[in-house]
Every structure is written in C-alpha cells, then in structure tokens.
Amino acid sequence: MDVGASAWLVILLALVLANLPFINERILALVPLKSGAGHKPFLVRLLELTVLYFVVGGIGRALEGRIGTVFPQTWEFYAISACMFLVLAFPGFVVRYLRKRH
C-alpha cells in the first residue's frame, strides 16, 4: 500500500470510528448494555471515543511502520490529532444530541 492510500485509509477510519460511539448503543459496537440501562451515558461515549482514538493511532502507526521509518512524535502531534479526532466526531454528536426530534 502506498503512502497516499495509507493516509486516506487512516482518515476514513478515523471518520468512521470517531462517530461510532454516537450512532449505536453498544459499547465499542460489540458489547450490548444491560437490558434495563436504556441508552449509553455521555461519559461512556467519551471513554469510548478515547479508546477509539488510540485504536486509530495504533493502526496509523502500524501503517507508517509498513511504509518505512516510524517518525518520533512529540506532545504537539498528539494534541493536534486528538483535536482533529474530536472535530471528526462532531457530526455524530450533532445527530445524537443537537438534532430536533419530531
């Protein structure tokens, strides 16, 4: 896989996984909640978003390692990538919490 395809794969994966906590009621889209719980609390969605951020980061790091040398990153990279992941999660947040229901 070339560099361009790897970059687009990570971006698309980040877009899908950033919205995943907001579009379903299962934990990490695998584990169903207890039958009487109703819906996931917002804190669980944030924790899930954090876990998925690290999953996307790990996949990106693995793809970078397959292409060549993995470049060392400082805290600025992680701060910017976390903010970008939150921006990618905004459509799911809007659909879940800000959309008017009729």
**What predicted TM-score, i.e. pTM, was given to this entire model?**
0.88
pLDDT in tens, 53-85: 999 999 999 999 998 888 889 999 999 999 999
Contacts of 17 (CB under 8 A, 6+ apart): 52, 55, 56
Question: Please, what is the Cα angle at 72 between 21 and 57, to 5 degrees?
Answer: 15
Provide the residue range defining the domain that includes 14. Answer: 3-98
pLDDT of residue 85: 96
Label residue 36 by pLDDT band (50, 70, 90).
low
* Mean pLDDT, range 76-96, rounded to an integer: 95
Number of domains composing the chain: 1
